[in-house]
Chain A
């Protein structure tokens, strides 16, 4: 044990928000009342909280990377998304034994080809394959995205920095029922000889929604600030 190097093990405590906001209070109050009225149990709530804390995009990235490397796995993933999810550690039946009320248990993997680019949306409410891809980003939930990408997909994609030539067909998947979708994008050039881990690192969330293409130099999605509508809808 060295006593000459004080930098080891002496990290300053992480900053914390010291005050309690009215929003925090509201969340607690709503939850407590709902439980007292029997709308759901504390147990249910705890189970769903743990679930919410456990999900993220890494398993989906791994599914894509593995599909790129293993043609048999890719076949399995395209045939039965829920079964293939188990191979990357995701059980769509969690946390209730029959899935969540919002996500259901029918994942479909949409394979991009040299001539077809998929992009996923849910115009009606923002359904998203959360068990394997984590929480949906705010922009995905906005009416701005949902209403425009079905009709002006190329314009919306170009706002995300994705310009597609006319030789590539754009296919929008409007996820309006129980099926949930993720995109299996094409493997980019410049990744020859990469391992599954290395490949998974460049498959970001936006690539699996379909608004970005994986790139050997990018491991993080670009920031997507949400702007108020230029032409807001007035009721």
Chain B
């Protein structure tokens, strides 16, 4: 990379850093340490892109997308929930780190779960348990 490109990159990165949020260094950054349960989902879960192609489904969106939207909206409207601003700030951070290679909207879902776990709105054990129950329920239907 020549000097001109290096300067452009440096300038770009500096701008990008400063445009990121408007929160100071002292503000605690969202914790992007991977979470075991979610790493499993990330690894084993089949994304809609793949599923839709395999089954020849034209709909670009998974059936749970609107439900996810509703969960995010409902959470931001309640006390002790998760405001849209906070959720999106975390999502931005997580999208560039832990969930970088996950397509949207799976990435959005993982980021939401991650943020809720880190904030103690749910805990990993109960989420894992509930996932098992849901899976049994759906597979026996």
Contact = CB atoms under 8 A, between A and B. Distances in A.
Interface of A: 14-34, 37, 39-41, 44-49, 51-53, 96, 100-102, 123-126, 135, 138, 141, 143, 146-147, 150-151, 226, 231-233, 235
Given A27-B64, A126-B88, A21 B45 contact: yes
A101 B77 CA distance: 5
A50 to B, nearest CB: 8
Contacts of A49: 66-67, 69-70
Contacts of B76: 101-102
A20 B139 contact: yes
B55 interface: yes
Nearest to A32: B130
B2 interface: no
A34 B74 CA distance: 10
Nearest to B44: A22
By size class, the interface of chain B is: 35 or more
Interface of B: 9, 12-13, 15-17, 19-22, 40-41, 44-48, 51-52, 54-57, 62-78, 80-81, 83-85, 88-89, 92, 95-97, 104, 106, 109-110, 112-113, 116, 121-122, 126-127, 130-131, 133-135, 138-139
- Does more than half of chain B's interface fall in helix, strand or loop, or is it mixed? helix
Contact of B55 (A17, A29, A33): A17
Given A17-B57, A34-B75, A125 B67 contact: no
A218 to B, nearest CB: 20
**Which of B54, B75, B112 has the most chain A CB atoms inside 10 A of its CB?**
B75
Closest 8 CB pairs of A and B: A22-B45, A48-B70, A125-B88, A40-B74, A52-B66, A101-B77, A49-B70, A29-B130
B41 A34 contact: no
B80 A147 contact: no
22 contacts: A17-B52, A21-B48, A23-B41, A23-B106, A24-B64, A27-B71, A29-B127, A32-B134, A39-B78, A44-B74, A44-B77, A46-B70, A48-B74, A101-B77, A102-B72, A102-B76, A124-B22, A147-B16, A150-B19, A226-B104, A231-B13, A232-B96
Contact of B84 (A16, A41, A102): A102
A200 B42 CA distance: 41
Contacts of B40: 22
